[in-house]
Amino acid sequence: MSDELRFHDDTITPNGPWTTFGATTAGRGPLEYFHSAMEYVDGNDAKGRQAIDLGCGGGADSRALLARGWKVLAVDAEPGSERLLTAGLSPERRARLEITIGAFHEVKLVPADLVYAQFSLPFAGEHFEQSVRAALGSVTEGGAFVGQLFGTHDDWVAEEGAVVVDHLWVEKSLRDFAHVDIDERQYDAPYGTANQTRHFHFFHIRARR
Ligand SMILES: C[S@@+](CC[C@H](N)C(=O)[O-])C[C@H]1O[C@@H](n2cnc3c(N)ncnc32)[C@H](O)[C@@H]1O
46 CA to centre of ligand 1 in angstroms: 24
CATH number at residue 95: 3.40.50.150
Task: Characterise 89 by phi-psi region: left (phi > 0), alpha (psi -120 to 50), beta (else).
Answer: beta
What are 174-201's pLDDT values in tens digits? 999 999 999 999 999 887 656 688 899 9
With CA atoms as reference, report the closest residue to 105 among 162, 54, 51: 54
* Pocket residue to mutate for ligand 1, from 18, 106, 200, most atoms within 8 A of Cβ: 18
Q: Please check whether residue 160 lies inside any domain of the structure.
A: yes
pTM: 0.92
Q: How many domains does the chain have?
A: 1
* 38 domain residue, yes or no: no
- Ligand 1 close to Cβ of residue 77 (< 6 A): yes
Asked, for residue 154, whether it belongs to a domain, the answer is yes
Assigned domain for 31 exists:
no
Answer for the pair 135, 109: CB distance below 8 angstroms, yes or no. Answer: yes
Mean pLDDT is highest, among 11-15, 40-44, 156-160, for 40-44
Distance CA 135, CA 19 (A): 23
Q: Which range of residues forms the domain containing residue 185?
A: 3-26+44-208
- Is 112 part of a structural domain of the chain? yes
Q: What are phi and psi for residue 59, nearest 5 degrees?
A: 95, 10
- Residue 47: band (very low, low, confident or very high) from pLDDT cuts 50, 70, 90: very high
Whether residue 34 lies inside any domain: the answer is no
CB 50 within 8 A of CB 68: no
Segment 116-131, tens digit of pLDDT: 999 999 999 999 999 9
**What's residue 16's pLDDT?**
45
Q: Quick check: is 37 in a domain?
A: no
Question: What is the average pLDDT value for the chain, to the nearest integer?
Answer: 89
| CA-based nearest residue to 12, from 22, 27, 4 | 22
In this structure, is residue 59 part of a structural domain?
Answer: yes
